[in-house]
Copies of this chain bind each other. A is one copy, B any other.
Amino acid sequence: MRETGSAQARPYHHGDLSRALVDAARRILEAEGPAALSLRAVAREAGVSPAAPYHHFRDKTELLEAVAHGGWEALSEAICEARRTAPDPREALTSIGLAYVNFARNNPALYRLMYDTTRDRTGMPEHAKEQDSGYSQVQGALIEAGADPADVGELELATIASWCAVHGLAEMSNFKDFQPLKEAMGGEEAFLRAILRHFGTFSPRPRPH
Contact = CB atoms under 8 A, between A and B. Distances in A.
Interface of A: 33-35, 108-109, 112, 115-118, 123-125, 127-128, 131, 153, 156-158, 160-169, 171-172, 174-178, 181, 184-185, 194-195, 198-203, 206, 208
Contact of A165 (B34, B117, B125, B164): B164
Given A171-B167, A206-B203, A195 B157 contact: yes
26 contacts: A34-B118, A35-B118, A108-B117, A112-B118, A123-B176, A127-B175, A127-B177, A157-B181, A157-B195, A161-B165, A161-B195, A161-B198, A163-B172, A164-B165, A164-B172, A165-B165, A165-B169, A166-B168, A167-B171, A168-B168, A168-B169, A168-B171, A171-B171, A198-B201, A200-B200, A203-B208
Interface of A is mostly: helix
Contact of A124 (B174, B200, B206): B174
A158 B116 CA distance: 28
Contacts of A157: 181, 194-195, 198
Nearest to A206: B206
Given A109-B118, A167-B171, A200-B200, A181 B156 contact: yes
